[in-house]
Chains A and B, each alone.
Chain A
């Protein structure tokens, strides 16, 4: 039989029909889909022994105790440590995703380390008589902060500038029965989350704020004051406590006079009371201190706190000053440690302090979104949980504490340790400062050591020096012994975490509210690929405010504050309170607009 072309085509057709009745094509489709999940570029989680490591979260000063579940030494999930006397096993959303931070898309891992060192050395050699070398420490209270102070004491005209220190006083929420918060985000990242939650049932919270923040929503009472009238309210309460008229305060805050009188009465009658707020300006801080003094809070809900011991040799150090006290146009060399996520001082506050002709600004940070945008040199640093660092005291930690974030993953090649780099630039020789600090604490013999793996506390004096250090490296917390509550010498509470005081311009009708910054790639992926969170230069306002400003959803506009202007894209969102503008917590935005700042949206 002769095979024709028609036979071949029929055979092929029959084969095609037959194949469709077998699992082959469907399996190939499935396999191809599965294969596409395993491209060579797709990272593969390590496989290996499952272990638990302990550390402390360094994302903020709360320093919550962390248990890291590791697979093949790689942390895959973080949880709190149950039974911890300060953090009580709780962690915030960012803390739970903290192990993603080293992989953040904005991470910087390379920088001109040698060039920066040469430039700094040259500028320091040519330093004028009235010019200064300054370290700007965005997270004071650490062992590294002591190194900066020592370094600045070792150089000519050195000055150590700290941002957001809480001083030597602490807030004891467990003793408070009535708390008045002047726009402080008390329940959303102010203190130690677990500690605040644990104490929450014991006090009546009154939140005075212009917008319904999360804290306002969760408070027992929300006083909706006019934007920027926190100081006026505080002044009114002071007057009410002194039996004077509060008419002016009522006018300024928009709250009836009777309500201010009732509030003052409640604070006085239902004590111990506490007023939290006032770090936005000197006058506001002084007012909050006056209020607490008048209410008898000092020594009861605001108590003196000792610092963790330091080696005697460290005490020859430069004093800590705030940026405002540094003369304008005086800083020739500015070294900024922004290795820890979170804190940021608007560049508009920093820039006037620099000399006009070629200042040398070196930012040591993990991301290029901070001061790296303004500095000549951005040097990459390790970030939690890559580096060993201690964590400063939390505002609500009554005892002095010392705990460290210990490395859970290896830092990339080429990153610098800010403490060592700045010390070297200043010609200061430093050893293992964390170990020296731990030895000094052990030598003092005070307090207890709480170890996380077994959840036990042991007196410091019962632990050998080496064992004390090993325990701290394995995730442990030293806590000073509890002393009778004392009145602090000077009160400077709630700094840093407090919403900034509003400006006074009446033509800025809105109050800025900040969204949280995405700190993990997982969160930022959601954030980048959806409209769940605001983009870097987006603002959200209520439809009524949008109509008043003459802007529509998606329109280009300008956000104006007293500090400056920034181009933004407007999102119109009915869930945003009237009178508020929601902005993203990004450095570019923070340069002109902080939380609580008066602002205005105008058409571009």
Chain B
């Protein structure tokens, strides 16, 4: 191939690399903001709350997940502070008693059974092990959803970590603990 011939080839390659590494990840996901600009950092530092205060386990050991409005209203029956986010939360959700439609960054496929209780209580894992430093974030990053599969983009890579939440990531961790033998642990 001559120099003259290499130019279009390299141009095509560079364009594809650019589109594949920059354009594609952007285009494959939809984005939407969370309903409330929530600060984990403020709640942890100023409110002194811990992860499990809001993301609690029920009496029967099941994980309650994202807290419902009742939980928030326990403290935020009236505005606490003068921020725009606080006003928005009170006006749009607390006062009309409307549940915020939080988007779950870690939603798993329907054919997977995941027990938070086993991982947190029995294995002693921290929330950050899987979810990354979400607890220290000052605002909620936009929720990105894969246009084709419909799963959260963070399944492929959790923000602030070098791992995802796909089966391969679960298997890697289980394998490191020598607990990878049972498919039925997750696929019941």
Q: Which residue of B lies closest to A9 (CB)?
A: B8
In the complex, what's the smallest C-beta–C-beta distance from A30 to chain B, in angstroms?
8
Which B residues between 1 and 18 are near A, CB-CB below 8 angstroms? 1, 5, 8-17
Contacting pair A18 B8 (CB below 8 A): no
Known: A27-B28, A34-B109. A17 touches B58 (CB 8 A): no
Does chain A have a CB within 8 A of B45?
Answer: no
CA distance A50 to B115 in the complex (A): 13
Residues of A within 8 A of B13 (CB): 14-15, 17-18, 21
Residues from 13 to 72 in A contacting B, C-beta threshold 8 Å: 13-19, 21-24, 27-28, 30-32, 34-35, 37-38, 44-45, 50, 52
Closest residue of B by beta carbon distance from A71: B62
- Distance of A14 Cα from B20 Cα, bound (Å): 13
Q: Chain B residues with Cβ under 8 A from A10's Cβ?
A: 1, 5, 8-9, 12
Chain B residues whose CB sits within 8 angstroms of the CB of A34 once the complex forms: 109, 146, 148-151
Q: Is the CB of B10 within 8 A of A23?
A: no
CB-CB nearest in chain A for B28? A27
Whether a CB of chain B sits under 8 angstroms from the CB of A93 is no
Q: Count of chain B residues with Cβ under 8 Å from any Cβ of A? A: 30
Q: Residue B15 contacts which of A18, A37, A38 (CB distance < 8 angstroms)?
A: A18
Q: Which residue of B lies closest to A50 (CB)?
A: B62
Point out the residue from B5, B12, B15, B20 that lies within 8 Å of A21, measured CB to CB.
B20
Contact indicator A27/B24 (Cβ below 8 Å): yes
A18–B17 contact, CB under 8 A? Answer: yes
Given A16-B16, A19-B20, check contact A31 B8 (CB 8 Å): no
B residues in contact with A37, CB < 8 Å: 109-111
Nearest CB on B from A97, distance (A): 12
A126 at the interface (CB under 8 A from B): no
Instruction: Identify the interface centre among A7, A14, A34, A50: most chain B CB within 10 Å of its CB.
Output: A14
Judge if A12 is at the interface, Cβ distance under 8 Å. Answer: yes
B60 at the interface (CB under 8 A from A): yes
Which one of A8, A18, A22, A23 has the highest number of Cβ atoms from chain B below 10 Å of its Cβ? Answer: A18
Distance, CA A482 to CA B60, complexed state (A): 34
A11 on interface, CB distance cutoff 8 Å: yes
Q: Which residue of A6, A11, A24, A52 is within 8 Å of B20 (Cβ)?
A: A24
Q: Which residues of B contact A6 (CB under 8 A)?
A: 5
A231 to B19, CA, bound (A): 84
Q: Is the CB of B16 within 8 A of A17?
A: yes
B178 CB, min distance to chain A CBs, angstroms: 27
| B28 lies within 8 A of A14 (CB) | no
Q: How far is the CB of B77 from chain A (nearest CB, A)?
A: 23
Residues of A within 8 A of B1 (CB): 10
Residues in B with CB closer than 8 Å to A27 are: 24, 28, 156
Segment 106-163 of B: residues with Cβ below 8 Å from A: 109-111, 146, 148-151, 156
Q: Could you say which of B9, B12, B17, B58 contacts A22, with CB atoms under 8 Å apart?
A: B17
Q: Given the known inter-chain contacts A28-B148, A34-B151, please indicate yes or no for A19 contacting B9, CB distance below 8 A.
A: no
Chain B residues with Cβ under 8 A from A31's Cβ? Answer: 28, 146, 148-149
Q: Are B148 and A8 in contact (CB under 8 A)?
A: no
Which of A8, A18, A30 is close to B14, meaning CB atoms less than 8 Å apart? A18
Q: Which residue of A lies closest to B11 (CB)?
A: A11
Inter-subunit contact B20/A22 (CB<8 Å)? yes
Q: With contacts A38-B149, A52-B60 known, is A23 near B8, CB below 8 A?
A: no
A19 in complex: contacting residue of B8, B16, B150, CB < 8 Å: B16
Q: Which of B5, B8, B14, B19 has the most CB of A within 10 A?
A: B8
Closest B residue by C-beta to A3? B8
Instruction: Chain B residues near A30: list those with CB within 8 A.
Output: 149
| B20 A7 Cβ-Cβ under 8 A | no
**Among B20, B110, B149, contact of A23 (Cβ-Cβ < 8 Å):** B20
Give the Cβ gap from B80 to chain A, nearest Cβ, in Å. 28
What are 7 A-to-B residue pairs whose CB atoms are below 8 Å? A11-B8, A14-B9, A14-B10, A14-B15, A19-B16, A32-B148, A35-B150
Q: Which B residues contact A (CB, under 8 angstroms)?
A: 1, 5, 8-17, 19-21, 24-25, 28, 58, 60, 62, 109-111, 146, 148-151, 156
Given contacts A23-B21, A38-B149, A50-B60, 8 further A-B contacts (CB under 8 A): A7-B8, A11-B12, A14-B15, A16-B16, A22-B17, A24-B24, A44-B110, A45-B110
